[in-house]
């Protein structure tokens, strides 16, 4: 019988044995969306892929975008929790379970997109029978197989002691299949020294192995596009660009999942400001790196103006894909500002009128109007320099106004930025795949309008993602119980060590003297 | 080794689209509704379209227009991007360098259609349909082997198809020569588009034979290939308008 | 072909072009992972047979020489 804190038991273990009507209602809602998607998919199988909006030359559409997006999300977990484990970041403890669950679930949903996109899904196993090593799709089959199996293992290994806890603390009146499940998954876990030694070794090896696999997965997905000679795809930086985008969107997914789990399950004591702060810094860095790659990718296209590539870029900058492209850029810039501004803003500034949240609304409206005039959607209300000046000034003021608001609500602000990034990254994948497909070499430029089939299946894919994630968290603790207990002991030991504060330098001392 | 190649003399081509029609009947490409065709789902293994495809300054504005038409079969590249990306060898290059498609193997991932810079590959978005009268006139030829289905055999929804240089005609010619107990000569076989060409603008033959018409015409100063800079090395060679 | 006509390159080309070889790699890799994970799990399970009476809900006290705090 393994011991567990009463508080941990009440917060993390006991909710798994009951289910509220709200939970079942939510599950029903998800099942309804999935049912709709399944019906539309059935139609697509019966009548052919013509039920989608895809055509020639747009042979790949929303399904491919979803595929890249979901596999990108999957980098949340394993990569982040593995890197944090390897580097010994203590604060990771309470969020690793959520991160690893996202990984496994996103991989399942992502791989499913390939099957959905196939003209003859019943021939899927041909990939495993006639697989040709030259095809990037087979590289993908290799790396995604390795990643899926690896991340399921990586999710499962730290779950063993928790499954044993659940087995030992299972209530008398609980459902019997659930008890049997925990007993099975605990694989005879006693928790003696030898077992802990072996488990820790296995987790440490997995954490190292999973990192190169994760990097390879999204690199290879980018190579599916980059190894063709199509305009706009045949790029050398796609590998690292996609990996960066994957980690970036992965952190976004982790933030959203963390916030929801924290709010719904009341885990404020486990997932605290510390996790938000530290992961937030990583989020800012990934945003900046992503921006840098995006700029580098498009600058070379814009400067070269190669005859076949430039129309692709032009369609993004001011053509039919411009709304999506600039929405993506705006979302990323806003996410960056939401994360960075509270760090820059001194606490006292919050009281100043310039930073009043209400002021930001007015200025935001002015900014929107000037932006629309510049884009030619509205008549210019003044001369060009005035409009540009108004845009810059109102944007600055609006940014300042919301900054104070975000500073007082770190969790909500981070979740908002994370949602912006998730939407932005979906659009990024769309902006990479669709414009090249509609601007081929020797076929008429086309337009691509997804149909209800694609919308339904996309909605069902997201519902499936949420469904699997919810079911997982209903069966297993959202926070790795043993890791958190261990972390508490380590924290307590560290607290005993006294580290003297650094002596303020003479310059700092004189500065403070002058100020006060 | 023979290396089948085609020459298209653009000076002679009158853009009548006879090649497209001949190809359609030889290879059983399905008819399609006007709405679907407007969406870009028509299947024309041998397409004829204005070049440059997308209006640029080069084409000019009325009345100073110069429209060039370009008949486009599959290029049967020597370095085919489609073959390289297929995960299951649903498309492959045979010993004569012809790029062929196995409908029994294709999984419908459409990686080859995406990879082909010429847009020469087509996907069956729906099951094919012919009116009863037309269905009676389908070409009965097919190239069948073990887990292998090619040629004009009717394709189901969800697989990719393409020009095969009328591979069934090559086999028929070889079979005839064998039945008559003599060696097969390269000039016994031409694809349907070459046979039908009104202006006799197309030539077909063995590029490896230096004395063949195609080999000699490929040395013509007017000779060029489409998208030479993407490195596919097509075996369909055009002769520029003079 | 786009490579030197030597035995090495021909061999490498056959390696990447023959259908089935990729499948073998996927299956060997997938099977290898499943097998090694299974063996690891058995190894962890067998760890419970060690002649140790003390059990721990988390590893710190036994593995990392911290004091045990009874919660």
Q: What's chain A's average pLDDT?
A: 91
Q: How close, in Å, is residue A438 to chain B by CA atoms?
A: 11
**What percent of chain A clears pLDDT 90, i.e. is strictly above it?**
69
Backbone phi, psi, residue B43, to 5°: -110, 115
Say how many CB pairs under 8 Å bridge A and B.
144
> Residues of C near B (CB-CB distance < 8 A)?
2, 17, 19, 22
Strands ordered across the beta sheet of B202-206: B202-206, B4-9, B236-239, B223-224
**Chain B interface includes A127 (CB < 8 A):** yes
CB contact under 8 A, A133 and C37: no
pLDDT tens per residue, range A313-365: 999 999 999 999 999 999 999 999 999 988 888 877 777 766 777 777 888 88
pLDDT tens per residue, range B127-158: 999 989 988 999 999 898 888 899 899 999 99
Question: For strand B143-145 and strand B148-150, is the pairing parallel, antiparallel, or unpaired?
Answer: antiparallel
Tell me which residue of B157, B223, B231 sits closest to B5, measured CA to CA.
Answer: B223
Q: What is the dihedral of CA A283, A288, A290, A291, to 10 degrees?
A: 140
CB contact under 8 A, B119 and A437: no
Give the pLDDT of residue A2.
Answer: 81
**Chain A interface includes B127 (CB < 8 A):** yes
C71: pLDDT strictly greater than 50: no
pLDDT tens per residue, range A89-130: 889 999 999 999 999 999 999 999 999 999 999 999 999 999
* Residue B238 DSSP one-character state: E
- Write b or e for each residue in A81-108: b if 16 or more Cβ atoms lie within 10 A of its Cβ, otherwise e: bbbbbeeeeeebbbbbbbbbbbbbbbbb
CATH 3.30.70.20 matches B4-239: yes
CB contact under 8 A, C2 and B79: yes
For every residue of C9-58, DSSP letters joined together read HHHHHHHHHSTTHHHHHHHHHHHHHHHHHHHHHHHHHHGGGSS-----SS
Average pLDDT over every residue of C45-49: 91
Tell me which residue of A143, A482, A415 sits closest to A263, measured CA to CA.
Answer: A415
Give the pLDDT of residue C68.
Answer: 45
What is the chain C residue with the closest CA to A2? Answer: C57
**Chain A interface includes B124 (CB < 8 A):** yes
What is the chain A residue with the closest CA to B39? Answer: A55
Give the pLDDT of residue A509.
Answer: 62
Which candidate from C15, C16, C54 shows the least CB-CB separation from A192? C54
Give the pLDDT of residue A513.
Answer: 54
Q: Which two tokens stand for residue A128?
A: 């495993």
Say how many CB pairs under 8 Å bridge A and C.
144
pLDDT tens per residue, range B78-131: 999 999 999 999 999 999 999 999 999 999 999 999 999 999 999 999 999 998
What are the structural domain ranges in chain B? 4-239
Tell me which residue of B29, B157, B227, B110 sits closest to A56, measured CA to CA.
Answer: B110
A71: pLDDT strictly greater than 90: yes
pLDDT tens per residue, range A294-309: 999 999 999 988 888 9
**Chain A interface includes B15 (CB < 8 A):** no
Q: How close, in Å, is residue A147 to chain B by CA atoms?
A: 19
Query: Are A251 and A80 contacting, i.e. CB atoms less than 8 angstroms apart?
Result: yes
How far is A38 from A370, CA to CA, in rounded Å? 45
What is the chain B residue with the closest CA to A128? Answer: B88
CB contact under 8 A, C17 and B88: no
What are the C-alpha distances in Å from A264 to residues A23, A27, A342, A413?
Answer: 10, 15, 26, 17
Instruction: Give me the helices (H) in A55-172, please.
Output: 62-73, 77-86, 96-117, 136-156, 159-168
Q: What radius of gyration do chain A's Cα atoms show?
A: 25
**Chain B interface includes A138 (CB < 8 A):** yes
Q: What is the dihedral of CA A299, A302, A304, A305, to 10 degrees?
A: 170
C70: pLDDT strictly greater than 50: no
Which candidate from A60, A119, A445 shows the least CB-CB separation from B114? A60
Backbone phi, psi, residue B219, to 5°: -90, -5
Query: Are A433 and A67 contacting, i.e. CB atoms less than 8 angstroms apart?
Result: no
Query: Are A144 and C28 contacting, i.e. CB atoms less than 8 angstroms apart?
Result: no
- Judging contacts by C-beta atoms under 8 Å, the chain C residues touching residue B88 are 19
**Chain B interface includes A125 (CB < 8 A):** no
Task: List subunits contacting chain A, requiring 3 or more Cβ pairs under 8 Å.
Answer: B, C
B57: pLDDT strictly greater than 60: no
């Amino acid at each position: 019988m393994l011991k567990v804190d009463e508080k941990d038991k009440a917060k993390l273990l006991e909710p798994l044995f009951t289910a509220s009507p709200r939970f079942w209602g939510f599950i029903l809602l998800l099942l309804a969306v999935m049912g709709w998607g399944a019906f539309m998919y059935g139609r697509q199988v019966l009548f052919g892929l013509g039920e989608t909006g895809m055509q020639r030359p747009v042979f790949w559409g929303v399904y491919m975008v979803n595929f890249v997006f979901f596999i990108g999300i999957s980098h949340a977990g394993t990569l982040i929790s593995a890197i944090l484990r390897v580097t010994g970041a203590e604060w990771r403890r309470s969020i690793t379970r959520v991160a690893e669950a996202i990984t496994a679930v996103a991989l399942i949903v992502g791989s499913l997109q390939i099957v959905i996109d196939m003209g003859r899904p019943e021939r899927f196993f041909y990939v495993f029978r006639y697989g040709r090593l030259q095809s990037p799709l087979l590289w993908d089959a290799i790396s995604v197989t390795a990643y899926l199996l690896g991340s399921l293992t990586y999710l499962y290994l730290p779950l063993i002691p928790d499954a044993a806890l659940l087995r030992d603390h299972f209530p008398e009146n609980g459902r019997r299949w659930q008890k049997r499940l925990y007993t099975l998954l605990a694989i005879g876990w006693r928790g003696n020294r030898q077992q802990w030694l072996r488990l820790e070794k296995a987790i440490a090896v997995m954490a190292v192995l999973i990192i190169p696999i994760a990097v390879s997965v999204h690199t290879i997905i980018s190579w599916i596009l980059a190894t063709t000679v199509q305009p706009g795809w045949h790029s050398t930086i796609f590998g690292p660009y996609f990996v960066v985008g994957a980690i970036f969107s992965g952190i976004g997914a982790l933030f959203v999942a963390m916030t929801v789990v924290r709010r719904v399950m009341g885990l404020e004591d486990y997932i605290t400001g510390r996790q938000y702060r530290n992961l937030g810094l990583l989020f800012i860095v990934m945003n900046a790196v992503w921006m840098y790659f995006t700029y580098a990718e498009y600058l070379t296209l814009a400067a070269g103006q190669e005859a076949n590539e430039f129309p692709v870029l032009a369609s993004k900058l001011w053509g039919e894909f411009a709304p999506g492209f600039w929405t993506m850029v705006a979302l990323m810039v806003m996410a960056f500002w939401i994360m960075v501004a509270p760090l820059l803003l001194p606490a006292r500034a919050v009281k100043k009128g310039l930073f009043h949240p209400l002021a930001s609304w007015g200025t935001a409206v002015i900014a929107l109007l000037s932006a629309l005039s510049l884009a030619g959607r509205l008549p210019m209300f003044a001369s060009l320099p005035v409009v540009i000046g108004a845009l810059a000034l109102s944007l600055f003021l609006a940014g300042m106004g919301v900054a104070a608001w975000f500073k007082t609500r770190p969790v909500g602000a981070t979740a908002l930025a994370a949602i912006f990034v998730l939407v932005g990254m979906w659009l990024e994948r769309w902006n990479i795949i669709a414009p090249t497909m509609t601007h081929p070499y020797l076929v008429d430029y086309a337009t691509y309008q997804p149909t209800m089939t694609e919308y339904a299946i996309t909605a069902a894919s997201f519902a499936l993602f949420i469904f699997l994630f919810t079911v997982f968290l209903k069966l297993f603790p959202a926070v790795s119980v043993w890791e958190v207990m261990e972390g508490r002991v380590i924290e307590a030991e560290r607290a005993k060590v006294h580290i003297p504060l650094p002596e303020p330098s003479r310059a700092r001392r004189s500065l403070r003297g002058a100020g006060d | 080794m023979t290396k089948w190649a085609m020459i298209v003399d653009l000076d002679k081509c009158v853009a009548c689209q006879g090649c497209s029609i001949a190809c359609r009947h030889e290879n059983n490409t399905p008819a399609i509704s006007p709405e679907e065709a407007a969406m870009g789902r028509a299947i024309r293994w041998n397409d004829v379209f204005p070049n440059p495809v997308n209006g640029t300054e080069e084409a000019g504005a009325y009345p100073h227009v110069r429209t060039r038409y370009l008949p486009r079969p599959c290029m049967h590249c020597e370095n085919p991007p489609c073959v390289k990306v297929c995960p299951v060898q649903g498309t492959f290059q045979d010993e004569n360098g012809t790029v062929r498609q196995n409908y029994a193997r294709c999984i419908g991932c459409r990686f080859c259609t995406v990879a082909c810079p010429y847009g020469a590959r087509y996907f069956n978005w729906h099951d094919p349909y012919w009116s009863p009268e037309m269905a009676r006139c389908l070409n009965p030829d097919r190239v069948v082997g073990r887990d292998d289905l090619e040629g004009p055999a009717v394709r189901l929804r969800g697989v990719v198809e393409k020009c095969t240089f009328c591979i069934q005609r090559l086999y028929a010619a070889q079979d005839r020569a064998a039945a008559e107990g003599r060696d097969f000569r390269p000039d016994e076989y031409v694809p349907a588009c070459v046979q039908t060409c009104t202006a006799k603008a197309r030539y077909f033959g063995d590029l490896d034979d230096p004395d063949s018409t195609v080999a000699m015409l490929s040395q013509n100063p007017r000779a060029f290939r489409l998208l030479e800079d993407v490195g596919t090395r097509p075996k369909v060679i055009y002769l520029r308008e003079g | 072909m786009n490579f030197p006509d030597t035995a090495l390159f021909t061999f490498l080309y056959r390696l990447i072009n023959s259908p089935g070889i990729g499948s073998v790699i996927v299956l060997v890799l997938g099977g290898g992972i499943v097998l090694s994970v299974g063996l690891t799990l058995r190894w962890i399970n067998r760890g419970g047979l060690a002649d140790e009476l003390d059990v721990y809900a988390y590893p710190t006290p036994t593995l990392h020489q911290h004091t045990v705090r009874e919660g």
